[in-house]
Amino acid sequence: MKNLISMRDVSKEDILELLDLAAKIENKEVHPDLSGKLGALLFFEPSTRTHFSFDTAIKKLGGQSFSMSGTSSTSVKKGETLADTLMTISQYADFIVMRHKIEGAARFAAETVDIPVINAGDGTNQHPTQAMLDLYSIKKTQGTLENLTIAMIGDLRLGRTVHSLAQALSEFNPTFYFASPRHLQMPQYIKDELTAKGVRFEEVEDIHPIMPHLDIMYVTRIQKERFAVLEDYEKVKDAYIVTPELLEEVKENFKLLHPLPRVNEITTEVDKTPYAYYFQQAKNGVFMRQAIITKLMNLI
């Protein structure tokens, strides 16, 4: 692994190795050393968790970072191309973490520069480091990744996290339920990939009947910023709202995950239930991102 661009490029062996490494880092069994190395955090799109957890991960590994949040104070505003920006940054940094609104931008970056590139989200396409921290969170809460029943609900078309996570989990014999408003369903190419791998999945509208069967419910935000027409967003924004009442018949091991940010798809009352795991999930992101940097930079 030189780059991390898409979960499609990551083997089951790579996944298991990263999960093991993240656990060892969390448990302080290994101490990878990034001192003397500089990570460039290029966020062309807004971010809280991915940006700051990567920054935290770099600093916890003893490395240093510099950041871009939006393009307003950069030469992108003067018309510099993405290729020229990337080539320039690669003269300074030892690796690049990049979020961009265009699908394929991270792949383009990896083909443009000769330092490692980590995809921190490219449009509606992929968010592989999120998928890896989601797997880490699922493994921590369930003790295994194998044979789990997992519902993904919300915006499954425009939300990139579920694309990467469905591909990653497909290595572990899951049973999926997909629930989304019409027009925001899981893309056909992902469903085709799952079918080709023999993965069981069902698209449902009503989530109430499936609740007692689930190990994990992965809730996502409707991606307002990716709608061309605001009225279309208004029509679907409250399609699924998780409340404590919805969770009354869930299994004991059930956990509720969300990549965050949330808008109103999980009420704050749910935060107090034993099922809410989304803030611990965000914390797990630091350990997993330390592991990803460690592997790509060959630190151990």
Interacting residue ranges for ligand CP, rule: CB under 6 A: 47-51, 121, 130, 259-261
**Closest approach of ligand CP to the CB of residue 43, in Å:** 8
- Between residues 165 and 194, which has the closer beta carbon with respect to ligand CP? 165
In this structure, are residues 186 and 179 in contact, taking their beta carbons and an 8 Å threshold?
no
Nearest distance in Å: CB 258, ligand CP? 8
Catalytic residue among 28, 78, 182, 272: 78
**Cβ 259 to ligand CP shortest distance, Å:** 4
As a whole number of angstroms, the distance between CA 154 and CA 150 comes to 13
Active site residue 99: yes
Catalytic residue among 37, 50, 129, 220: 50
Terminal alpha carbon distance of the chain: 14
Q: How far is the CB of 125 from ligand CP (least distance, A)?
A: 13
- Selecting among 37, 51, 127, 255, the annotated active-site residue is 127
Check if 49 is active-site: yes
Which residue out of 37, 51, 85, 99 is catalytically annotated? 99
Q: Write the burial class of residue 125 (CB in 10 Å: 0-12 exposed, 13-18 middle, 19+ buried).
A: buried
Is the Cβ–Cβ distance between 174 and 208 less than 8 Å? no
Closest CB to ligand CP among residues 50, 294: 50
Tokens of 32: 């990878």
Tokens 């925001």 -> residue: 184
Quick one: 237 or 289, whose CB is closer to ligand CP? 289
Q: Please state, in angstroms and rounded to a whole number, the distance separating the CA atoms of residues 298 and 145.
A: 26
Shortest spacing between CB 205 and ligand CP, in angstroms: 26
Whole-number minimum distance, CB 242 to ligand CP, in Å? 17
50 is known as an active-site residue: yes
Q: Which is nearer to ligand CP, 199 or 220 (CB)?
A: 220
| Closer residue to ligand CP (CB): 250 or 259 | 259
Helix or strand run (H / E) with residue 119: strand 117-122
Shorter beta-carbon distance to ligand CP: residue 201 or 218:
218
- Helix boundaries (H) for the chain: 12-26, 49-60, 82-92, 105-112, 128-142, 160-169, 188-196, 230-236, 278-296
| Residues 6 or more apart in contact with residue 227 via CB below 8 angstroms | 233
State the Cα–Cα distance between residues 282 and 47, nearest whole angstrom: 13
Catalytic entry in 24, 49, 59, 224: 49
Cα of 299 vs its chain's centroid, Å: 23
DSSP 276: B
Active-site positions? 49-50, 78, 99, 127
